[in-house]
Structure 1
Amino acid sequence: MRHHLILRVVTKLLIGVIMLFALYVQFHGDYSPGGGFQAGVIMSVGFIIYSVVFSLADVQKVLPPWFVHKLMAIGLLLYAGTGVYSMFVGYNYLDYDAISPHHPVHGQHYGIILIELGVGITVTAVMVTIFYAFASRTPVMDDEAW
Structure 2
Amino acid sequence: MDIEEYIRQIDDRWRGAFIEVWRTIGENLPEGFQAEMQHGMPTYVVPKKTYPEGYHVDGKALPFISVAAQKRHLAIYHMGIYSDNELYEWFTETYPEHMTTKLNMGKSCIRFSNPDRVPYALLGELAGKMTAEEWIELYESGKM
Larger strand proportion, structure 1 or 2?
2
**TM-score bracket for this pair, using the shorter chain length:** under 0.3
TM-score relative to the length of structure 1: 0.27
Larger relative helix fraction: 1
TM-score (norm 2): 0.28
